[in-house]
Structure 1
Amino acid sequence: MITQNKRLTGIVLGVAFLLSIPLIAMQFTNEVNWGVFDFIVMGVLLLSTGLVVELVIRKVRNADYRIGLIAVILVALFLIWAELAVGIFGSPFAGS
């Protein structure tokens, strides 16, 4: 079984890996154009999502509730990500 500290390390390394994808892509194409602020926002969004999921895993004992809460957290992540990327809701935070 994975210890709690190894899971936290995995979360941080996972965020670093995911953020390295656009960083590497920026070296090869002009289609990806992220600034420092974009990396900070996405890093905070991914890290906070990972940490909240970890909190749910540690604190919620009922498996059905745990799965439901993690699903809600992931849906919220994707909705916020989509809003920041293309503005599906038209909020002032939209990226377009």
Structure 2
Amino acid sequence: MIANNNGAAFEHDGDLARLWNTLRVIGWCAVPLLLLLPAVAMQFTSEVQWTAMDFGFAGAVLVGAGGLLELVTRMTVRPALRFGAALVVGLVVMAIWAWAVA
């Protein structure tokens, strides 16, 4: 809660908490959709050839990242720490993905 010079208070943490919860739902819904993309692409092109191991690895990375962010959510209440952790986890996921593709 932040007070201005007139003594009126503004509730910013509630808005950020709602945003964070919305992003969590979107993130968990994105995991199966991201796994469906290569499955659909395999039906239309021969350039995408994923095996069950590829889907398992991708699923483990995405679910692991989501689980880590859920842990951060339960351990912290400060929105800046949550969004910072999400940024770091996202960068780590991209680095793992780049390493796996190379």
Give the alignment's TM-score, normalised by structure 2.
0.70
Q: Secondary structure of 2:77's partner?
A: coil
2:70 to 54, 78, 83: 54
Question: Which ranges of 4 or more aligned residues in structure 1 deviate by more than 2 Å?
Answer: 7-10
Q: 1:69 to 1:9 in 2, by over 3 A?
A: closer
1:28 to 27, 32, 44: 44
Give unpaired runs (5+ residues) of structure 1. 87-96
Larger Rg: 2
Q: Secondary structure of 2:63's partner?
A: helix
How many aligned residue pairs are there? 82
State the 1:9 CA deviation: 9.3
Query: What is the Cα-based RMSD across aligned positions, in Å?
Result: 2.2
